[in-house]
A and B are shown apart, each in its own frame.
Chain A
Amino acid sequence: MRNPLSDEVIKIKPSGIRKFFDIVSEMKDAISLGVGEPDFDTPWHIRDEGIYSLEKGKTFYTSNSGLKELREEICRYVERKYNVSYAWNSEVIITVGGSEAIDIGLRAMLNPGDEVLIPQPSYVSYEPCTILAGGKPVIIDLKAENEFRLTAEELINAITDKTKVLILPFPNNPTGAIMEEKDLIAIAKVCVEKDIFVMSDEIYAELTYKDKHVSIASLPGMKERTILINGFSKAFAMTGWRLGYACGPKEIIQQMTKIHQFCIMCAPTTSQYAAIEALKNGDDDVKKMRDSYDQRRRFLLDAFKKMGLECFEPFGAFYVFPCIKEFGMTSEEFATRFLEEEKVAAVPGTAFGDSGEGFLRISYAYSLDRLRLAMERLERFVTKLREEKKN
C-alpha cells in the first residue's frame, strides 16, 4: 500500500510535551491550572438568545460571511472599543473561532516560501497553520526582561526580504503580556517601512488589567495592512460556541471568504444569534468577569511574592508566567514533579515555544478557592526544592 499521508503534515512536529499530558490525563484527582478557557458559564441572556433562535427555527445556513446583523454589530463594537471602523459588508468575516481566522488568513496571504514572523512564547497554532499554508515560520524569541513584549529591534532583526506577515499575539497566551500604545507605535513604524502585513490576534483584548487594550489596526497606516482577529470565546465565555471574526482590508477578507465558503460554508447559526446579544448587551458581564480575573491575578502575584517566586506582572489574558529557573530544572521536569508530588497540573512554558523554557503557565480561569489550594501546594513544593538544592 502507498503511504496515505501528506509529507507536509508529517513534517509538522507534534507537541513536545505529549508525555506530560498523558500523565495528567491518567491522574484523576489532580488540581488543574492548565485550562485555557474561562471558568464562567456563558451569561444566561446570551444563551437564552441562542435557545430562542432555535425555537424560532433559525436553523439554516447564514450567508458565507455571517449574519448581516452580527457583522454590523461587530463593526459597531470594534469602532466603539478599539476605534477602528470597518465596512460590515466587505471588511468583516465571521469564522469558527479565532482559530479559523488565523488559518484562512494565512492561507489567503501566503505564497510558497513567504516568511511569517511568530513571536514566542505564544499560542500553538500559528506555526502549523503557517506551514500548512505553504509559508515559512520564523520564530522571534521574546524575552522576560522585556516582559515578553515584542520590541522594534527584535522585529527588525528578524525581517528578511521574504518576510510577509507578522503575527502579533497580544494580550498574550501564555505569558499574559500586553503591548501598550507606545510599544505598538514602534512596531507599526517598522511594518510600514518594511511593507509587512500584520495578523493581530486580539482574542484576549477584553481582558486587560491596566489601560484599555489598543489595537494596532487603529494606528496610522496600519488598518490597510492588518487583519484584526477577535472572537467571543474569551470575552464572553463562549468557547464551545466556536465563534470568532476577522476584520481587514477587503481584498484579503474577500479571499478569506472564498476559502471559508469552500471549507466551512458558514459559522454556526445559533452561535451567531447568541453573539448578537453578547455584543449588544454583554458589557456588564464582561466587566464582572474581568474584575474577577483581576482579583485572582493579584492574588497569584502576591502568592508568588510571598514564596519568593520570580514573576513579572502580566496585565492581560488570564495567565501568569512565573520563572522557575532558580530550581535548575527544565519546565517539563518541574511541571512533572509538581504534578507527581503535589498533584497540581500547570503547563510547562515550552509548550508554547523554546523561549518558554524556564517558565510555567498558570491559568487563573479558576475560582479563588481553587487557586488558594494550589498556591499552598506550590509553596510547599518550592520550599522542598530549595531544601533539596541546599543539601
Chain B
Amino acid sequence: MREKILSVIEKDSRIDIRELAVILGMDELAVANELKAMEEEGIICGYHTLIDWEKTSIESVGAIIEVRVTPQRGQGFDNIAERIYQYPEVNSVYLISGGFDLLVSLEGKSLKEISLFVSDKLSTLESVLSTSTHFILKKYKEHGTVMAKPKTDERETFIL
C-alpha cells in the first residue's frame, strides 16, 4: 500500500487525498493515516516544487562540487558532511564512491557567490583536502522531469 501511495505522490504531491484514495482503490481514511505515518517516520521528508529558474527573471546559478576529505576516526564522513549540509545554500550532500568522497550541489545568485562559498567556506574546512567545482550550464532533466521542452500530444484526435 505504501509503495503505491509513494509512487503516485512522488510525481504529484499536490493530489488531494480523496482522489489519491480513488485512483488507488483504497479507503480515504486509510490513505490519510498512512501518509501521516510516513511523514512521522521520515519516509516522506518534504513536499517540494520543481522550478525551472531559467524561465523566471530571478538570477540563479547551480553548481556541483566534488569534495575530497579526510575521514575522522570513529565518525567516518558524518561530521564533515554535517558541517557542509548546515549551509543553507547547499541543496544536497551525498557520500559517493570513486575518486571523490562527497558530492555537494548548491544554488547561488551568481558565479561569484558560489566561488566565494567554495573558497571561503568549503575549502577552509579542516578536513577538506580538495574541491572540484562544476557549474551547471543547462538543466535538461530533473527529478524525472524533462525541462527542455514541453511535451505535446501529437496523436490524431480520433482513432477508433
Partners in one complex: yes
Inter-chain contacts of B140 with A (CB < 8 A) = none
Inter-chain contacts of A174 with B (CB < 8 A) = 160
Interface residues of A in 5-28 (CB under 8 A from B): 15, 21, 24-25
Which A residue's beta carbon lies closest to that of B155? Answer: A35
B contact patch SS: loop
Query: Residue B153 at the A interface, CB < 8 A?
Result: yes
Minimum C-beta distance from B17 to chain A (A): 13
**In the complex the two chains form, what is the Cα distance from A298 to B19 in whole Å?**
10
Partner among B12, B25, B153, B159 whose Cβ is within 8 Å of the Cβ of A298: B25
Q: A39-B155, A295-B8, A295-B24 are in contact. Are A352 and B19 (CB under 8 A)?
A: no
Minimum C-beta distance from B79 to chain A (A): 40
Inter-chain contacts of B25 with A (CB < 8 A) = 294, 298
Q: Is the CB of B24 within 8 A of A21?
A: no
Q: Is the CB of B19 within 8 A of A299?
A: yes
0/1 interface trace, chain B 137-160, chain A, CB 8 Å (1 if under)? 000000000000000010111111
Partner among A25, A30, A351 whose Cβ is within 8 Å of the Cβ of B160: A351
Q: A39-B153, A295-B8 are in contact. Are A32 and B22 (CB under 8 A)?
A: no
Which B residue's beta carbon lies closest to that of A365? Answer: B155
**In the complex the two chains form, what is the Cα distance from A174 to B158 in whole Å?**
13
0/1 interface trace, chain B 1-41, chain A, CB 8 Å (1 if under)? 00010011000100000010011110000000000000000
Minimum C-beta distance from B28 to chain A (A): 11
Which A residue's beta carbon lies closest to that of B159? Answer: A36
**In the complex the two chains form, what is the Cα distance from A115 to B155 in whole Å?**
36
Which B residue's beta carbon lies closest to that of A345? Answer: B157
Partner among A34, A302, A345, A347 whose Cβ is within 8 Å of the Cβ of B22: A302
Query: Residue A37 at the B interface, CB < 8 A?
Result: yes
**In the complex the two chains form, what is the Cα distance from A345 to B160 in whole Å?**
13
Q: Is the CB of A35 within 8 A of B156?
A: yes
Inter-chain contacts of B12 with A (CB < 8 A) = 368
Q: Is the CB of B160 within 8 A of A299?
A: no
Minimum C-beta distance from A111 to chain B (A): 29
**In the complex the two chains form, what is the Cα distance from A296 to B22 in whole Å?**
9
**In the complex the two chains form, what is the Cα distance from A21 to B156 in whole Å?**
11
Inter-chain contacts of A298 with B (CB < 8 A) = 22-25
Minimum C-beta distance from B48 to chain A (A): 19
Q: Is the CB of B23 within 8 A of A32?
A: no
Minimum C-beta distance from B77 to chain A (A): 34
0/1 interface trace, chain A 346-383, chain B, CB 8 Å (1 if under)? 01000110000000000000001000000000000000
Inter-chain contacts of A296 with B (CB < 8 A) = 23
Inter-chain contacts of B159 with A (CB < 8 A) = 34-37
Inter-chain contacts of B160 with A (CB < 8 A) = 15, 36, 123-124, 173-174, 347, 351-352
Minimum C-beta distance from A140 to chain B (A): 19
Which B residue's beta carbon lies closest to that of A363? Answer: B159
Inter-chain contacts of A368 with B (CB < 8 A) = 12, 23
Q: Is the CB of B157 within 8 A of A35?
A: yes
Inter-chain contacts of A15 with B (CB < 8 A) = 160
Interface residues of A in 155-199 (CB under 8 A from B): 173-174
Inter-chain contacts of B153 with A (CB < 8 A) = 39
**In the complex the two chains form, what is the Cα distance from A25 to B156 in whole Å?**
9
Inter-chain contacts of B8 with A (CB < 8 A) = 295
Q: Is the CB of B19 within 8 A of A32?
A: no
Interface residues of A in 226-261 (CB under 8 A from B): none
Partner among B22, B23, B155, B158 whose Cβ is within 8 Å of the Cβ of A24: B158
Q: Is the CB of A345 within 8 A of B23?
A: no
**In the complex the two chains form, what is the Cα distance from A39 to B155 in whole Å?**
8
Of the candidates A299, A347, A368, the one having the most CB atoms from chain B within 10 angstroms of its own CB is A368
Inter-chain contacts of A34 with B (CB < 8 A) = 157-159
Inter-chain contacts of B156 with A (CB < 8 A) = 35
Minimum C-beta distance from A291 to chain B (A): 8
**In the complex the two chains form, what is the Cα distance from A39 to B159 in whole Å?**
12
Q: Is the CB of B157 within 8 A of A299?
A: no
**In the complex the two chains form, what is the Cα distance from A192 to B22 in whole Å?**
43
Minimum C-beta distance from A314 to chain B (A): 14
Inter-chain contacts of B23 with A (CB < 8 A) = 295-296, 298-299, 368
**In the complex the two chains form, what is the Cα distance from A368 to B157 in whole Å?**
17
Which B residue's beta carbon lies closest to that of A367? Answer: B153
**In the complex the two chains form, what is the Cα distance from A25 to B159 in whole Å?**
12
Minimum C-beta distance from B151 to chain A (A): 9
In the complex, 13 of the A-B residue pairs with CB atoms within 8 angstroms, ordered by the A residue number, are A21-B158, A35-B155, A35-B159, A39-B153, A294-B25, A295-B8, A296-B23, A298-B24, A345-B157, A345-B158, A347-B160, A351-B160, A368-B23
- Which 6 residue pairs are nearest across A and B when measured between Cβ atoms? A295-B23, A36-B159, A34-B158, A32-B157, A302-B22, A35-B155
6 extra interface residue pairs, beta carbon distance < 8 Å, beyond A36-B160, A351-B160: A30-B157, A34-B158, A291-B7, A294-B25, A299-B22, A345-B157
